[in-house]
């Protein structure tokens, strides 16, 4: 055998070994790929895509919960603020009406002229304001309980929780 033929056979043998390695590698990759595919109806999806999709859905749901809770809390605060502003305005009106009544009583005693109808008008005005004030109770304003949410995974946690039950992340308390 000539040297050239030996080199040719060695080269052919090496090429065949490389093809076999590629085939074995391809079979392994194909098997790994087939294991990571989930068949759903007519469509094939990779498992990683499904996991990512589920994760994004969970994030969207958690975000929606946070937005809803925040919107309810903001509405609640706005209602309470409006009620307090109305109460303060009525208290100012009451103080003004009482000053007017006091001034009227003082003037009528000083001059000796009493107008019973005018006196009853001031007293009626004060009584109306007091009725309006009594109708406002801060407790009557609907309140929304704010449920703490895990900053890591977005799951709802108990008020006194130190760690999230779902992901184990530390929950910071409002005092910290």
- What are the 10-residue block averages of pLDDT along the chain, 176 residues in total? 65 70 66 55 52 73 82 86 88 91 90 88 92 74 64 81 84 61
What pLDDT does 64 receive? 81
What pLDDT does 121 receive? 92
For the chain, the DSSP string reads: --HHHHHHHHHHHHHHHHHHHHHHHHHHHHHHHHHTEEEETTEEEEHHHHHHHHHHHHHHHHHHHHHHHHHHHHHHHHHHHHHHHHHHHHHHHHHHHHHHHHHHHHHHHHH----HHHHHHHHHHHHHHHHHHHH--GGGS---PPPPB-TTT--B--TT-SB-TTT-PBPPPTT-
pTM score: 0.45
What pLDDT does 30 receive? 62
């Amino acid at each position: 055998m000539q040297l050239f033929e030996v080199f040719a056979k060695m080269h052919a043998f090496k090429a065949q070994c490389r093809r076999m390695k590629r085939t074995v590698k391809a079979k392994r990759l194909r098997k790994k790929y087939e294991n990571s595919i989930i068949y759903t109806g007519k469509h094939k999806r990779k498992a990683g895509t499904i996991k990512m999709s589920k994760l994004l859905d969970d994030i969207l749901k958690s975000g929606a919960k946070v937005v809803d809770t925040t919107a309810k809390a903001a509405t609640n605060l706005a209602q309470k603020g409006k009620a307090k502003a109305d109460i303060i305005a009525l208290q100012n009106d009451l103080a003004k009406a009482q000053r007017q009544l006091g001034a009227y009583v003082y003037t009528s005693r000083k001059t000796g002229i009493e107008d019973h109808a005018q006196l009853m008008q001031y007293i009626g005005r004060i009584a109306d304001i007091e009725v309006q004030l009594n109708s406002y109770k801060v407790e009557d304003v609907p309140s929304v309980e704010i449920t703490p949410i895990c900053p890591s995974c977005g799951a709802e946690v108990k008020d006194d929780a130190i760690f999230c039950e779902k992901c184990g992340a530390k929950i910071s308390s409002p005092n910290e």
